[in-house]
Amino acid sequence: MAWALASASAAGLEDIGDWSETATYAFATAAVALGALLVAVLSPWLPKAGKALSERAPWLVVAGLFLTAWELAAAKWGWLPQPFFPPPQALLEVLIWEYAELLGHLLASLRLVAVGFALGAAAGFILGVAVGWSTHIAYWIHPVLRFIGPLPATSLLPIVFLAFPTSWSASIFIIALAAAFPVAILTWSGVANVDKAYYDVARTQGMGSRGLITQVAIPAALPNVFVGLFMALGSAFSALMVAELIGVKAGLGFYIQWSQGWASYANVWTTIVVLALVCSGSITVLFKIRGRWLSWQKGLVKW
């Protein structure tokens, strides 16, 4: 009923502004309402779908009511000032008419954050294993980590953009630096706190130092490593937005700034929604990987 109400509010009342996709939005919300009704009716024959709908029903109702209130306040009654708070069909209009440009910026951001996160995570993991395993390395690296690690990576932007030949490579470095610290710290903690009995048992089997690292220390530290990766991913996206706002000429952060400059707030809000979906999806993928690698800990950490 809530989604049907959202559709009725869009189709039944006249817009006070000029939005070309009101009919499309009304059709889309009606399709959601009809789909939910069909699943509810067919739930005896589709038990999994019916259970999923039942579990998500409160959220679906709240979402439908929120869309209805948003539509009325922005598009029908004019309670929200325009163009700063556009109605939902304005966001849909951006997705339909400017999807190619938005997709290009999305791919640019994904490439940037993927490369930076991969390099930073790899560097942090290697450094964390080295520091956690060797007291000699820890003696020299620990003070450096304590001094540089807590420093926000984005504070180095003025220096980094001068030191690197291109804004793209500078952005990669900033993202990698933001991702490396949490991975290094959590990996170091995981390796350093492995039960010594594990090493004793492995040595009785004739295992050397390399085997102790690769087959004992690293597997035992993986829960900590994944916690570091989750933290690093959030840091990488934060650094990505700042880097794109200042340096590069493509990406979601750049597109947000460009749209805001032209007062295209529908584009701004649409990009924010896309960015939220990308961040959430990335965390979900990382949780899937964690669940596969750490099957014995499945359910301890949820997303």
Are 140 and 199 contacting, i.e. CB atoms less than 8 angstroms apart? no
Digit-coded pLDDT (tens) for 159-171? 877 788 777 888 8
133 or 299: which leads in pLDDT: 133
Residue 212 has pLDDT above 90, yes or no: no
Residue 301 has a pLDDT of 54
Q: Which two tokens stand for residue 297?
A: 């800990």
CATH architecture of 99-297: Orthogonal Bundle (1.10)
> Of the candidates 139, 149, 214, 211, which has an alpha carbon nearest to the alpha carbon of residue 186?
149
Whether the upstream peptide bond of residue 83 has omega within 30° of 0, thus cis, is: yes
pLDDT band at 257 (very low <50, low <70, confident <90, very high): confident
pLDDT band at 88 (very low <50, low <70, confident <90, very high): very high
Calculate what percentage of the chain has a pLDDT beyond 70.
96
Digit-coded pLDDT (tens) for 53-75? 788 888 988 998 999 999 999 88
> Of the candidates 289, 282, 293, which has an alpha carbon nearest to the alpha carbon of residue 114?
282
Q: Which two tokens stand for residue 284?
A: 């979900």
Q: Which two tokens stand for residue 302?
A: 């949820």
Residue 207 has pLDDT above 80, yes or no: no
Q: Name the pTM for this structure.
A: 0.84
Domain with CATH 1.10.3720.10 in the chain: 99-297
75 or 297: which leads in pLDDT: 75
Say which residues have a Cβ less than 8 Å from residue 46's Cβ, sequence separation at least 6. 39
In this structure, is the dihedral angle defined by the CA atoms of residues 165, 166, 172 and 173, taken in order, positive or negative?
positive
Digit-coded pLDDT (tens) for 94-105? 999 988 999 999
Are 7 and 26 contacting, i.e. CB atoms less than 8 angstroms apart? yes
For residues 14 and 8, give the distance between their C-alpha atoms in angstroms, rounded to a whole number.
Answer: 11
